[in-house]
Amino acid sequence: MTKKTIGFIGTGVMGKSMAKNLMEAGYSLNVFTRTKEKASDLLEAGAEWKEDTASLAQASDVIITIVGYPKDVEEIYFGEDGLLHNAKQGSYVIDMTTSSPKLAEKIYNKAKEAGIHAYDAPVSGGDVGARNAALTIMVGGEEGLFEEVLPIFEVMGENIVLQGEAGAGQHTKMSNQIAIASGMMGVTEAVLYAEEAGLDPKKVLKSISFGAAGSWSLSNLAPRMIDQNFDPGFYVKHFIKDMQIAIDAAEEMNVPVPGLKLAKQLYDQLSEAGGANKGTQALYTYYKHMMAES
């Protein structure tokens, strides 16, 4: 694909870095977000501000969205001011939000009716992966057009796989979140155990991060737990949203997910205690609270 104009909606913890990487790769960028101030860095770097989704769609060849919740995706894509009513025929819409597989299929079908090409492409790798252009990108959509959008994905990520038709990217992301959910409990418990045993937890990580227990969460989030750094690389509230989508999809397929349900229960309690806007590594604080009460 030649370097066409990209419209970008969603400049949060990950989206801002992803958009910045696209600009640095030479793409012209149109930006819209509910709070203009969140896009100030991008605007200062040369991105063009659009007042609404309709004007952004009309001025862009490829539109990327990465927002909070499926309801936000619905609002952005459908309705009179939505992307699918305003995007140019032959343009591309790529939703990189972690959202519902069924919604991804709906977007694809409505886009096809309008002569628009749609992909669902949720990501994994958190703030660090977004900043370093090292995200894992899980894609659902037409195989025949995938090579057209692949260069854009390659600016933002390193591990890019077309998983199947529309919705396949979101189903893959659900598998990812299911694996992380139970893993986060294990990471938290491992750090706490090391501390209570009187060990230096950072020294413990030097051993277990490279053994059979190794994982992205252990290498990247356990050090934040130890340093009492609970700033969001990925919000608790968004992880809870992802887990609920996965639970709903699993139940429809009659797949048992007891580990996922337990993890969501713990994160729900963390959120209710004021942790919704913290990073997922803040599960550590909930465990510490339980230990203090026992």
Whole-number mean pLDDT of the chain?
96
- For β-strands 135-140 and 123-124, DSSP reports them as antiparallel
Active-site pick, 173, 241, 264, 278: 173
pLDDT in tens, 161-177: 999 999 999 999 999 99
pLDDT in tens, 234-263: 999 999 999 999 999 999 999 999 999 999
Whether pLDDT at 1 is above 60? no
Q: Is 50 one of the catalytic residues?
A: no
Backbone angles phi, psi at 60, to 5 degrees: -125, 150
pLDDT in tens, 178-225: 999 999 999 999 999 999 999 999 999 999 999 999 999 999 999 999
Distance CA 115, CA 91 (A): 8
Listed in sequence order, the residues at least 6 apart from 214 whose beta carbon sits closer than 8 Å to its beta carbon are: 208
Domains in the chain: ranges and CATH: 6-164 (3.40.50.720), 171-293 (1.10.1040.10)
